[in-house]
Chain A
Amino acid sequence: MNLEQIINFLSTYDQEDIKIMEVCGTHTASIFKNGIRSLLSPKIKLISGPGCPVCVTPSSYIDKAIEWSQKPDCVLVTFGDMMKVPGTTKSLSEAKAEGANVKLMYSPQEVINDAIETPQKTYIIACVGFETTTPTYALIIEQLENKKINNVKLLTALRRVLPALEYICETDTEIDGFIAPGHVSTVLGSEIYYKVAKKYKRPFAVAGFEAEHVLLAIFDLVKQVINMKHEVHNLYPSVVKPEGNIVAINYIDKYFDIKPAYWRGIGVIPDSGLFLKQPFRCYDAGSDVLPSENEEMLTKCRCGEVILGKITPPECSMFSKICTPQNAKGPCMVSSEGTCGIWYRFSKENG
């Protein structure tokens, strides 16, 4: 068996329609970059999933971050991805243009050094991410404790991927199988999908991000669906162990509690949020912000449906007309892992 045979199988497949969800935005980008859709039979559909943490961060969170950035002696530190995400009235980058104190980081680690050097300022780290990123923030809290640093706080919007997948399985019966997010799986392990695979009878393939990885995962899932199997296969063994990175998992458990959390465009998903545990709440910058009831109604952005795989971006009437990366109406357009932004970039590149 070789790659050619796999591609041949996938391009000539002619049985029941199969829908496969790639959960992670980095997979979505890889699928576009490598032209994978053009290698598949029209009977195999790839649907983008909820794996873009920036896209599901509520606008009230952005508002809160902006509020901090406008306080005297406060610096809001963030990854670049968050800058253009619209809040209720503006984005962080608009706030910065108006003079707010917003600073970009390569790693949260550098904030510790800044905080030690400039004790008169308070640093608020915008902590957005899934389980891949959460251990990094646990390590930050540990250092704040050990070094007795009290001018750093965390504004968290940390989410767990698995409850979102369960939510999709509960509400959407059309997805036949999942390409599991590679780097979330690096931290949590491939075994975490067993329960969902069994309960909802859906196969999972944990995959890396190269073209071969993705093609082999699609092949595996199509074969499993045809043969009515729902197993979890780890196709990224170089960095994913069945049990995950136990040290990282223990760090998450030590510093974070599991609670219900709000996903922009979707609503509250049980057990899907990670919030600082009680003894460490002193480092929290007010992360429990709940969205105002109608915050999502204000725009006609359909990110929620895009994230759940119910529509593709061009089905949103604003896509590429009113909504572009330069003037985004929703978070899915601004993030490098957002489905709308990826579709926009590649449709421009390929005419």
Chain B
Amino acid sequence: MCVAIPGLVVETDGIVGKVDFQGNILNVNMAIVDAKIGDYVLVHAGCAIEVVSKSRAEEIAQIFAELESIYNES
């Protein structure tokens, strides 16, 4: 039920927008996020719940960096 998927904002007036999910364009409620055209948003139940702030590769790199010190602990 809490599944949410990222999509690319192709149109938005701040309240409703159109989001491209790998070629499928769907209407999405944009009222609770501050997203512009070209942003990726995380969409749940037809509602964008957050702007995706970094790519998956960037994110994984950041997590590795943060866990580095933990890795080196005994």
Contact = CB atoms under 8 A, between A and B. Distances in A.
* A, B in one complex: yes
Interface of A: 1-2, 5-6, 9, 24-26, 51-54, 79, 81, 106-110, 128-130, 132-133, 135-136, 139, 181-184, 186-187, 208, 210, 212-213, 216, 219-220, 223-224, 227, 233, 235-241, 245, 247-248, 251, 335-337
Given A9-B71, A133-B44, 6 more contacts: A132-B1, A132-B49, A135-B47, A139-B31, A216-B67, A245-B32
A223 B73 contact: yes
28 contacts: A6-B71, A53-B1, A81-B1, A106-B46, A107-B29, A109-B46, A110-B46, A129-B2, A132-B49, A133-B2, A133-B44, A136-B45, A136-B46, A139-B47, A186-B49, A186-B50, A187-B49, A210-B56, A213-B63, A223-B71, A227-B73, A237-B54, A238-B56, A239-B52, A241-B50, A247-B32, A248-B32, A335-B1
Majority SS at the chain A contact face: mixed
Contact of A108 (B3, B42, B46): B46
Contacts of B3: 26, 183, 336-337
Secondary structure call for the B interface: mixed
Interface string B57-74: 011101110111011011
A237 B53 contact: yes
Interface of B: 1-4, 26-29, 31-33, 42, 44-47, 49-56, 58-60, 62-64, 66-68, 70-71, 73-74
Of A2, A130, A212, A241, the most chain B CB neighbours within 10 A belong to: A212
A337 B50 contact: no
A133 B45 CA distance: 7
A183 B70 contact: no
Candidate in B46, B47, B55, B68 with the most chain A CB atoms within 10 angstroms:
B47
Nearest to A219: B67
Given A1-B68, A223-B70, A227-B73, A52 B1 contact: yes
Nearest to B65: A1
